A and B are shown apart, each in its own frame.
Chain A
Amino acid sequence: MTKPRASMDGPGLFMQAWRLLGFAPLLLLVLLAVNIAINPARFAPAGWGTLIGLAAPLVGAALASTPAILSGRGGIDLSIGPVMGFVNAVVVLYLVKQAGIQSPWIIFPAAILIGALIGALNGLLAAVLRVQPIVATLGTYLILVGLTLTILPAPTGTVPAWLRALSGPLSILPLLGIAIVWTIIRRLPFYDHLMAVGSDDRAAYTAGIPVTLVRFVTYVIGGAFAGVAGLMMTALISSADPSIGPTYTLIAISAVALGGVSLAGGRGGLTGAAIGALCIFLLQSALTYFNLSTFVLQIAYGAVLVIAIVLTAVQDRLLRRRQEG
């Protein structure tokens, strides 16, 4: 829907870039340039693995939050962060520590399965039972946070070497995996159904799209992505910690909104969400480098979020006016 708008000719080069890319990619470029300028060593190719490993959990959380939001009618998944924390606790505590399992061929499918099962529960509640998604996933949020704290009252445990490598040299692999899976999904009829349901579920229903099934599958996909994001978080912290996972929920939703995904559904995609997450990561990275207190960082983060979505809205408005005029 945004593409025909973007192809319209505009006055300035900047305006054209803005129109073509939206605000978030421009912000990303600016932030990247600033980061490289102030700290070239950290952004040298040799450090890319570690750098991506640092950003990966947030990017993963944003990617996992996106499908539910795309499905429209208040679709949102607040449980993404707690799912990551739960996967972290189960993998480190039960699989690695108690069962002594080291193989990625068991740990990866297990994490994805846990995420997908919780996603299926969310889908069951939100799509089939038709509890409002924000309430349903708030419920699973509370359940998962409680369960995680029950099985894991305090941080503990270690992870296998290959998992630690996922926050270093191999950090791009899980994200690549999600990207490949999503590229395949985009080629399936399911994707068109999802976008149709997200833009106007009533029209989609009259056109014969199985709205409930599409929404259910969407939550399962988001949950599976959250399972992978949980592993990326586990790789980064190299232990089990019950307090870290839930903090990703709101920041991931901010990243999604920053990346131009409409919270009303049906507009945007995983690329935008990833760009939004990278913007937040680079912003934090730059502000930390200046040795500003975390308080200033928080103000700046909130301000950039508000300004970015305001500018996106203004851009939309200008485009619409020009189209109408």
Chain B
Amino acid sequence: MRITLDQWRVLGCVLVAVGLYVVGALTIPGYNSDFSLRAMLVLASLLAIASIGQTLVVIIGGIDLSIPFIIGFANVVAAQLYGGGMNFVLVVVIVLAIAAAVGAANGFISAALGLHPLIVTLGVGTIVQGCVLLWTGGFPAGSAPPLLSQFVSIGGNAGFLPVPWLVPCFVVLAALVMLALARTPYGRRLFALGANPRAARLSLINPVAMWTITFAFSAGFAALAGVLLLGFTGSAYGEVGQPYLFQTIAAVVVGGTALVGGRGSYLGTVAGTLVLTQINTLLIGLGFQPSMVQALLGVVIIALVSLYGRDAHVRNTI
């Protein structure tokens, strides 16, 4: 019963994404154009990569507020190191490794001491941002390698596909994430721990190790998104991750993943990113100011989640 309900939520989100596309194509001239579709796919892919970690962390029963800070960190440090003449592959390895270490610290502190990850990730994220600012003096330098810019460029082509390489690569990555969640011991442990921590411990799942690994994944994917954003914008900007703080959470919940742990799917999150990106494009296309777009986005998130993401009443949880 519960499984079908969750699948219905994901299906609902996919339907909303398709419905938005139809509405947009019918009401806004140019919504269906080549450029607008490419732009939306690239933006949705970037958001979806940043949301991989948030999905995993929410399934295990936590939340990660350090994602925007990690994105900013990766963005600035990658540009700075590459600008200093380092090999870009080495740069990416270093950035991902540091990010994973920070994420592991988030998960370890939260799980080993039983602290709420919201506060831990916020504190650690603040430290990371401060360190980056201190290192760059607030004015990050450096640039993106041309190959990376091409990889995420809205005008780029992937072989015969009319989208940049980012999009097909993301589709493969998304398939791998879903496979890992559905078919690997890691995925099963993740859901087990999120659904019932005590039962999971009795079946010899080590919660501290799982939290450490999962938060390391989360920071690693956030860093990946930060590096890709460097290619997208061309130059480093420490605050580039800030919109992702609430957007990753919104994508996860709009995608039907409950913030209670043990339930959810990455397919839903991907559908959630498509919904959010489309609503944004749609509202701007209808001529709303950015501030009004933000307000309406809030209305839409509440409306969607109250349609299919409500909690059970207390009386039904006894």
Given contacts A150-B289, A314-B113, contact A135 B259 (CB under 8 A): yes
Residues of B within 8 A of A205 (CB): 314-315, 318
Given contacts A134-B63, A135-B305, A299-B134, contact A309 B114 (CB under 8 A): no
Query: Does A143 lie within 8 Å of B295, measured CB to CB?
Result: yes
A27 to chain B minimum Cβ distance, whole angstroms, is 14
Chain B CB within 10 A, most for which of A132, A139, A202: A139
A257-B134 Cα distance, complex, nearest whole Å: 26
Query: Does B120 lie within 8 Å of A309, measured CB to CB?
Result: yes
Closest to A215 in B: B314
Residues of A within 8 A of B291 (CB): 145-150, 153
A201's partner among B63, B123, B253, B314 (CB-CB below 8 A) is: B314
B253's partner among A135, A202, A298, A303 (CB-CB below 8 A) is: A135
B310's partner among A131, A250, A299, A314 (CB-CB below 8 A) is: A131
Residues of A within 8 A of B250 (CB): 135, 138
A296-B258 Cα distance, complex, nearest whole Å: 37
Assign chain B's interface to a size class: 35 or more
**A129 adjacent to chain B (CB < 8 Å):** yes
B117 to chain A minimum Cβ distance, whole angstroms, is 9
**A172 adjacent to chain B (CB < 8 Å):** no
Query: Does A257 lie within 8 Å of B119, measured CB to CB?
Result: yes
Interface of A is mostly: helix
Query: Does A135 lie within 8 Å of B315, measured CB to CB?
Result: no
Given contacts A135-B309, A205-B315, A298-B129, contact A146 B123 (CB under 8 A): no
Residues of A within 8 A of B118 (CB): 76, 253, 263
Closest to A205 in B: B314
**B124 adjacent to chain A (CB < 8 Å):** yes
Query: Does B123 lie within 8 Å of A305, measured CB to CB?
Result: yes
**A5 adjacent to chain B (CB < 8 Å):** no
Interface flags for B87-124 (1: CB within 8 Å of A; 0: not) read 00000000000000000000001000111101110111
Query: Does A145 lie within 8 Å of B295, measured CB to CB?
Result: yes
Query: Lowest 5 A-B CB distances belong to which pairs?
Result: A146-B295, A142-B298, A302-B126, A149-B291, A299-B130
Residues of B within 8 A of A (CB): 63, 65, 109, 113-116, 118-120, 122-131, 133-134, 138, 246, 249-250, 253, 258-260, 289, 291-299, 301-302, 305-306, 309-315, 317-318
Given contacts A146-B292, A211-B314, 14 further A-B contacts (CB under 8 A): A130-B310, A132-B309, A134-B249, A134-B259, A139-B298, A144-B295, A146-B297, A206-B318, A263-B118, A263-B119, A297-B130, A299-B130, A302-B123, A309-B115
